[in-house]
Amino acid sequence: MAKPLPPPRPRVVSSGEEALLGDAVVLTQLDKAIGWARKYSIFPYPFATACCAMEYMSLSMSPYDIDRFGALLPRFTPRQADLIMVIGTVTMRQAPILKRVWEQTAEPKWVMAFGACASSGGFYDNYTTLPGIDLIIPVDVYVPGCPPRPEGVLDGLMALQRKIQRQPHTPPPPPA
Ligand code: SF4
């Protein structure tokens, strides 16, 4: 009986086109690659209701330049967005509208509570103000402040990007 062949030895290429290809090809897991792509291609839907919106506007200006994080282009329909930024006070009358916007947002989707009013109702302690949007929709990241500084919003955005990268993006394999 013939002896089994030994396993092939790895070939080291030190010159020519194949050597160049070795530097150009990156091997990774599909899940990590999708996570990387998703976290740098965020399309925010600004649900802006009050004064925090001024800070949101400054995020796209050159000193802060949110485009560095791949999250500049706002979409004004939830069907083309994946991040709902709730910016400002949400009243009880606006709450069903926010809930519907969240339901219409494409999957996968994330939510940022932008400022004290969206996170907790802020200093409004009355029957007309929703004391935190997490009473009606799930929130992924809270940005504190009244209003939050743009640096704080960028910090929250980076925290969300880390969360997106860690999430599973591909369905689990079927049971064997
Ligand atoms: S957190 Fe402050 S700045 Fe933002 S909407 Fe509320 S009151 Fe206005």
CA-closest residue to ligand 1 atom 4: 52
Q: Please list, in sequence order, all residues whose beta carbon lies within 8 angstroms of the beta carbon of residue 80, skipping any fewer than 6 positions away.
A: 43, 106
Residue 19: pLDDT over 80: no
Residue 41: pLDDT over 70: yes
- What's the whole-number mean pLDDT along residues 94-113? 95
Residue 163 alpha carbon to ligand 1 centre in Å: 26
Q: Where are the domains of the chain?
A: 41-164
Ligand 1 atom nearest 51 alpha carbon: 8
Residue 161: pLDDT over 60: yes
Q: Give the pLDDT confidence score for residue 27 in this predicted structure.
A: 63
CA-closest residue to ligand 1 atom 3: 147
Mean of all residue pLDDT scores within the chain:
88
Residue 89 alpha carbon to ligand 1 centre in Å: 7
Q: Give the pLDDT confidence score for residue 165 in this predicted structure.
A: 93
- The fold adopted by the segment(s) 41-164 is Rossmann fold (3.40.50)
Q: Give the pLDDT confidence score for residue 46 in this predicted structure.
A: 95
Residue 164 alpha carbon to ligand 1 centre in Å: 27
CA-closest residue to ligand 1 atom 8: 51
CA-closest residue to ligand 1 atom 6: 117
Binned at pLDDT 50, 70 and 90, residue 3 comes out as confident
Phi, psi of 126, rounded to the nearest 5 degrees: -145, 175
Residue 90 alpha carbon to ligand 1 centre in Å: 10
Residue 143 alpha carbon to ligand 1 centre in Å: 12
As given in the structure block, the two tokens for residue 138 are 């799930």
Q: Please list, in sequence order, all residues whose beta carbon lies within 8 angstroms of the beta carbon of residue 120, skipping any fewer than 6 positions away.
A: 131, 132
